[in-house]
Amino acid sequence: MTFAAAFTASRRAPDIDDALLVAFYAVGAGASVVIAFMLVTHAITPEVTVLVPVGSMIIANAMNAAAQAMERFKSDVTSHVGQIEAGLSLGAEPRATVAPYVQSAVYASLLPRLDMLKSLGLVWIPGVMAGMLVSGASPVYAGIFQFIVVAMILTASGIAGLVATLLFRTRAFSKEAQLTLRPGRQES
């Protein structure tokens, strides 16, 4: 699942070297940290019937966050090439010249999940909670489990967005600290 998610996310950044690897690390980091934490704390049980549906939700959201972060970072950098190169020509480190765009990309990757969190229970009843209620589970237990799932999604998305952006940032510059990411560059 992680490889398929990374492949899908990497298609948003065809003009960066190793986009598949960046997406794989980002999705893998976001999903594995969260799933491992949930297993260690016994928030979820290590059973296939739990790991597959919960894991797929986590991986899918990490994939979307990584793709959105890479897309926003690419868009911001390519639209501010002049400012970035001016900073580089004045001696600024590559990391400093793109710092605002890293922050913007990570925030953009979290925005859909933050909106989801704001409307949880008011605008929509999440699938996990609805399914548990229909199957006869306690409403309190269903609510707690849904909160855990939403927290996992938000955490995995944040990690995936941050990792994708930071790895993408390193590939946007040459070893000589020259900006290699350009507007209109397409995959060959």
Beta bridge partners of residue 124, listed in sequence order: 120
Quote the pLDDT of residue 187: 45
Burial class (CB in 10 A: 0-12, 13-18, 19+), 183: exposed
Q: To which H or E segment does residue 105 belong? A: helix 99-119
Quote the pLDDT of residue 188: 40
C-alpha separations of 72 from 15, 81, 138 in Å: 13, 14, 41
Quote the pLDDT of residue 181: 81
The pTM assigned to this predicted structure is 0.86
SS3 helix, strand, coil % of the chain, rounded to 5? 75, 0, 25
pLDDT along the chain (188 residues), means of 10: 92 81 96 95 89 91 95 93 94 94 95 84 69 82 82 94 94 89 62
Quote the pLDDT of residue 83: 94
